[in-house]
Amino acid sequence: MTDRFPELTLPQMLRENARRHADRVAIRQKEFGIWNPCAWKQYYERACHVGLGFRALGLSAGGHVAILSENRIEWVLAQLGANIMDGIAVGVYPTSPSNEVAYVLAHSESEIIVCEDQEQVDKVLERREELPKLRRIVVIETKGIRDYPPDQVMSFEALEALGADYETSHAGLADSIIDGQQLSQIALIIYTSGSTGKPKGAMLSYKNIRAQAIAATERLGLDQSESLLSYLPLCHVAEQMTTVMVPVYLGSLVNFGESIRTVQEDLREVAPSMFLGVPRIWEKLHSSIHIKLLEAGRIRRTLFERAYAACEPFAEKNSADRTLSERIKFALSYWLIFRALQNFIGLRKTRIAMTGAAPISPAIVHFFRAIGVPLIEVYGLTESSGIALGQVLSDRRVGTVGHGIDRMEARLGDSNELLIRGDTVFAGYYRNEEATKASIRDGWLHTGDVAEFSDGHFRIVDRLKDIMITAGGKNLSPSEIENTVKASPFIKECIVIAEARKYVSALIQIDYDLAGKWAEEKGLAYTNFRNLTENASLRDLIQSEIDAANGQLAQVAQIRKFYLLTKELDHDDDEVTATMKVRRANVQVKYRAEIESLYR
């Protein structure tokens, strides 16, 4: 393992790949329908020019460079360019409104920001007066910025050219800085989602990043031949792990699609060997398959139902442990039905698929395993630099997240809180020593998650702060109830209400696409989201789905009443975070009247 992962920082490893594998493709970027390759040598040279461009603009040693963009090659060039100059990269969610962007830029004291386009530049300029440390705005797509002040806004192309010119008068500067780097240096600040308060900036060192690359490679059985599609936000630790940490140390291929809106089409073209999806992605894929089946007609639907019924009983078995009869059943089902579905979602060639970053319904995991997607559950958090616990394909126990990764210890503390210790534990929160001391105590990271441990496997129960106590004194895990309900493809979001209440109720958000398709199949007329939720037949459908979920829950946890939300929960309305985590407190205040009506 040491030979594969020498004790080098990210820039040192990038330079090593440029020397060893100069002409091998490191990145492919799709533009106008064409996949454009970038070899390791070119990747390193461009990152150097970007970094030197930052230095020419006045980036200080240890200075911060913010990046506000969807995933694309310029994102990682900016990140590694900053690192090459001993700078620190700070990701900002491109879906964030201007006030959230300004908070991250001000709190991180960013000196330069790289923006994707005019829309993102305008968010920064709207709050420019609140950002005294900000020196320059660099924009990747220049359409619409011709009349912007050149002393504030410049193009990414001009930044690279500036860096190339700077290199001629500062020959050897990049190599000199890279040579002096230590694993203890901070490389990246990732801001937490801020579901219960202001986001905190978690600082990750090169040591953390290298340890995560080693751990993920070992746990997932990865090698240099891997190919993946980068699509989750790069300001999230999960995508940093799969797009930057592992590929740079492993020397594997990363693909950047045309847009977040073309993910499914890009997946089909890339056919990745590795895929990471957060629960919302798996729920969306689950829903899209059901929509496809509704459109396919009765005969194909019946064929799927029979194939699924035949293979579902042994879905959790490792393929090597299946009986001859089970292998024959799966082979027939695969060639008749499942292969087409795997092609439809772009995962037919995937050797390892992961779900992580939040709890997921066991029923959805079971569904994908039944149709042949090699899905495992992993657990991690920003403060653990990525994966902390994970399953392996040969031992996938429903509802668990496996055991600890290499170079890390895991145990249960007070109130069964999960504690972890090891090289992947972050360096602390930026400008927040109090929060750092509360999070890391005696060398152990207090995750804030309640867990159970049995027979070598961990099961995550819920967030410690989210555990609810009913009026009858019963402790409930809202996420367990919510994920059981969200196994229904017709339900996109479920928010449980139970704290100090006589019984459990819930706010329900429908999956508009699938519910709409269902309504069309039934000949039910509707005009918009609200109109559809007010349809009595749809309410009956949701009631039947909740009844089915209640059958899997203890009586005290069953949902007695629910309210159908008449609109989607929205980030701009402060109802969900940039990572689509529900802001429970905000939602409960906003829908206080509707909640109270459930207890009359």
| Domain chopping of the chain, boundaries | 10-273, 276-348+350-464, 471-597
b/e map of 528-556 (b: 16 or more CB within 10 Å)? ebeebbebeebeebbeebbeebbebbeee
Of 90, 126, 93, the closest CA to residue 109 belongs to: 90
As a CATH number, domain 276-348+350-464 is 3.40.50.12780
Give CA–CA dist 276/520, Å, rounded.
Answer: 33
Of 474, 472, 277, 471, the closest CA to residue 356 belongs to: 277
pLDDT band at 194 (very low <50, low <70, confident <90, very high): low
* pLDDT for res 394: 85
Q: pLDDT per residue over 169-187, tens digit each?
A: 999 999 999 999 999 999 9
Q: Give yes or no for a contact between 256 and 38, defined as CB atoms under 8 angstroms apart.
A: no
Domains 276-348+350-464 and 471-597 share a fold: no
Q: Spelled out in words, what is the top-level CATH class assigned to the domain 10-273?
A: alpha beta
* pLDDT for res 399: 83
Q: Give yes or no for a contact between 563 and 496, defined as CB atoms under 8 angstroms apart.
A: no
Of 213, 233, 325, 247, the closest CA to residue 278 belongs to: 233
* pLDDT for res 142: 92
Q: Give yes or no for a contact between 272 and 255, defined as CB atoms under 8 angstroms apart.
A: yes
Strand partners, 569: none
pLDDT band at 407 (very low <50, low <70, confident <90, very high): confident
pLDDT band at 530 (very low <50, low <70, confident <90, very high): very high
Give CA–CA dist 46/77, Å, rounded.
Answer: 7
Residues 6+ apart with CB under 8 A from 356: 238, 276, 278, 377, 378, 379, 380, 387
Whether pLDDT at 2 is above 60 = no
* pLDDT for res 169: 93
% of the chain surpassing 90 pLDDT: 66
Whether pLDDT at 196 is above 70 = no
Average pLDDT of the segment spanning 61-76: 96
Instruction: Work out the mean pLDDT of the chain and round it to a whole number.
Output: 91
Whether pLDDT at 3 is above 70 = no
Average pLDDT of the segment spanning 243-252: 95
Tell which CATH classification among 3.10.450.50, 3.30.300.30, 3.40.430.10, 3.40.720.10 matches the domain 471-597. Answer: 3.30.300.30
